[in-house]
Structure 1
Amino acid sequence: MLGLAFLSAPGLARLPRPDSLLGGACFSHPAAALAEAGDLPLLAVDMALPTGEASVCEIWHSPPPLHSGQQGAIRYRENDLLLFGSLSLDETGTDTHPPLQSTAEAAYQAIFALLEARGFSALLRVWNYFPAINQESHGIERYRQFNIGRQEAFLAHDRSVIGNVPAACALGTASGGLNIAFLATRANVTSIENPRQLSAYHYPSQYGPRSPTFSRAGLVNLGGRDMLFISGTASIVGHQTLHG
């Protein structure tokens, strides 16, 4: 029901546009131009690869028929069970909120509005990318700004911020704005925590005024097959990072 393929950016450019592609993300430094993506929801992320490869694209695919659409800044593709979307926003602040906080809130507000409009109840997995993730601006670390904005959007759409929350990651990039890819489903999702780790949404205040809103993993059955989506925080024990 859902599969994942890894290709180079040139390989993606040569790939015919089969009707089973949901979307994905391409990683390279600098970010690759992806004009060939057409209506495929596809992020171009400015991130050097530790393997030394020039580029890698993660491409999700699912059985057709698939419908492509756009709502505001979000490009998406869906079938009866799954929706994959992507959006890229420049950081824009307000008089009262730092730019990344405001942009994160706007991005997640847009995501939830789309899911509500398309009838997808469960946000299964989210990939967040933005530059200078651990640097401080406006008196607070940028990752903490992001957490505030994300949680504000969850609350505004009456979404739980503990327990039943999506698996997610937030990774730093070399440049660009806020880039988000997400996978949603109409199937039931079970959020999973790690007994050796404090749930991220219960982190103490030393990590910022708002705890991160994500689970350690999400389990879903798609077409009779169990699939586990892992957030990727194996270096944490309790609430401390032990391996950088």
Structure 2
Amino acid sequence: MYFLDGDRIYIKPERACSTLEEQVESCCMKLLKINSGKRIFKLNFFVDTESDEAYAALRGQVKKRVAGLFPENILLSFIAQPPLTCKIIVEAFYYDPAVWHMQSVSEGENGTAIFRNQNARIVVGNVRSNQNISCRGNSENAFETLSDVLEKAGFSLENIVRQWNYLENILGFDEKEQRYQAFNDVRSQYYGSVFENNGYPAATGIGMNRGGVIIEFVAVKGDGVITSPVDNPEQISAHSYSEKVLVGEECLAKTTPKFERARYFSYSGKKQIFISGTASITGENTVGVGDPVLQTEVTIQNIQRLYSGEVLQKLADEKLEPKYGHARVYVKNRKDFHAIRRTFKKHFGNLPVVYIIADICRDNLLVEIEGKVILE
């Protein structure tokens, strides 16, 4: 990760690998080479599995293989979002141990690590709940665990600056309650008023095929840390949406998605903007229904507004040059992949990017893009 004097790398299997097992082994071998001279601490596995049983078996296989490859504890997430060009893609995060001291706070399904240097502390981790058939129940368990692991590290919810929320069957319903809306209601309950003074985290809320609820997070505190929300003037903040774009029965209390469009983070000379999951929304309404190219164009325009010259002037007194660092592109329908990729490359060229199949938080949204912007 950039703010840990490291980065992230996307690992794809060799083309000759046909089975899932061969692709897993190919990625693991590549990880060993990458880890020489770089300290990997977190791996996200984006996987295509046909059933809950296959997903569980793969998790067990990969956890055992990773434990055999790395002597230190590695944070792991298994996200059931099929890659577009293979059965598995690995997202590897690394840091500079000469600058940061890492200590594991918790392991297993709810792995968390704290990074320290002279003045700052940064917590990176993930929590998972797949114990309940309802999204509300899994969300409550996940947020309860999140609060516990943060407290164990000496942090609280208000220290979170970036969050990823993966929801099984995000657009589905548990009886009459939409699953994404249930997650938003639980998030609002746990957040309470702790973010009132300095805005919410940047965040992504995205679907996955199975696995319950997974929350990944970055939390920061310490001397010299500066963090603030970044708005897009062409979009209504998600936490200020009107009732008409929230899904569910009119008689039920519904809360808005509690996240910012982006978030600025500065520490020790490193400056960046976390770009939340961004889609083709102007104001609070979807633009380009049924048109994946137009939706990708509008999405990119929304992202670019988050690091425009006007925005950067407000963030710092010095002149800042933005450089888009990486992207995840979530594609709703496989048939739209090539059109979306062509449009993305037209704007960003050969930027490191991974394309994933995933349901997005509205029925009429076809693409969502997230990433980070480095400011130099």
TM exceeds 0.5?
yes
TM alignment of 1:59-208, pairs within 5 A: 59-64=92-97, 65-70=101-106, 74-80=110-116, 81-92=121-132, 99-120=134-155, 122-155=159-192, 158-160=193-195, 164-186=199-221, 187-206=225-244, 207-208=246-247
Query: 2:114 touches 2:153 (CA, 8 Å); kept in 1?
Result: no
Q: Given the alignment of the two structures, is residue 53 of structure 1 paired with residue 86 of structure 2, yes or no?
A: yes
Query: 1:23 touches 1:77 (CA, 8 Å); kept in 2?
Result: no
Higher alpha-carbon deviation: 216-225 or 19-28: 19-28
SS at match of 2:264: strand
Deviation at 1:85, TM superposition (A): 0.6
The verdict on how the C-alpha distance between 1:152 and 1:161 changes in structure 2, with shifts beyond 3 A counting, is farther
Q: Which residue of 1 aligns with 2:275?
A: 230
Equivalent residue for 2:10, pick from 1, 6, 18? 6
CA distance in 1, matches of 2:277, 2:267: 21
SS at match of 2:96: coil
Which amino acid in the other structure matches residue 56 of structure 1? I
TM-score, with length taken from structure 2: 0.58
CA distance in 2, matches of 1:49, 1:162: 38
Q: Given the alignment of the two structures, is residue 41 of structure 1 paired with residue 75 of structure 2, yes or no?
A: yes
**Ranges in structure 2 where 5+ consecutive residues have no aligned partner:** 13-23, 50-54, 68-72, 248-253, 288-294, 296-365, 367-376
SS at match of 1:66: strand
Deviation at 1:144, TM superposition (A): 0.3
Deviations along 1:91-116, one digit per CA (max 9) or x if unpaired, are 427xxxxx212321231232233223
Q: Which has the higher helix share?
A: 2
Deviation at 1:184, TM superposition (A): 1.5
CA distance in 1, matches of 2:129, 2:155: 23
CA distance in 1, matches of 2:43, 2:91: 5
Q: Which residue of 2 aligns with 1:96?
A: none
CA distance in 2, matches of 1:227, 1:40: 25
Query: 2:75 touches 2:107 (CA, 8 Å); kept in 1?
Result: no
Which amino acid in the other structure matches residue 135 of structure 2? L
The verdict on how the C-alpha distance between 1:106 and 1:145 changes in structure 2, with shifts beyond 3 A counting, is same
CA distance in 2, matches of 1:152, 1:71: 26
Which amino acid in the other structure matches residue 21 of structure 1? I
The verdict on how the C-alpha distance between 1:236 and 1:2 changes in structure 2, with shifts beyond 3 A counting, is farther
The verdict on how the C-alpha distance between 1:196 and 1:116 changes in structure 2, with shifts beyond 3 A counting, is same
CA distance in 2, matches of 1:56, 1:162: 38
Q: Which has the higher strand share?
A: 1
Deviation at 1:119, TM superposition (A): 2.8
Deviation at 1:11, TM superposition (A): 5.0
CA distance in 2, matches of 1:238, 1:162: 24
Q: Which residue of 2 aligns with 1:22?
A: 41
CA distance in 2, matches of 1:163, 1:144: 24
User: What is the number of residues matched between the two proteins?
Assistant: 236
Query: 1:132 touches 1:172 (CA, 8 Å); kept in 2?
Result: yes
Deviation at 1:87, TM superposition (A): 2.0
Deviation at 1:222, TM superposition (A): 3.5
Query: 1:200 touches 1:215 (CA, 8 Å); kept in 2?
Result: yes
CA distance in 1, matches of 2:107, 2:79: 21
SS at match of 1:232: strand
The verdict on how the C-alpha distance between 1:145 and 1:40 changes in structure 2, with shifts beyond 3 A counting, is same
Query: 1:103 touches 1:149 (CA, 8 Å); kept in 2?
Result: no
Regions of 4+ moved over 4 Å: none
SS at match of 2:89: strand
Between structure 1 and structure 2, the one with the greater Rg is 2
TM-score, with length taken from structure 1: 0.86
Deviations along 1:167-207, one digit per CA (max 9) or x if unpaired, are 11111112221122111222332111111110010111231
Query: 1:67 touches 1:77 (CA, 8 Å); kept in 2?
Result: yes
CA distance in 1, matches of 2:194, 2:109: 21
Deviations along 1:110-152, one digit per CA (max 9) or x if unpaired, are 2233223313452121111122111122212110011011111
**Ranges in structure 1 where 5+ consecutive residues have no aligned partner:** 94-98
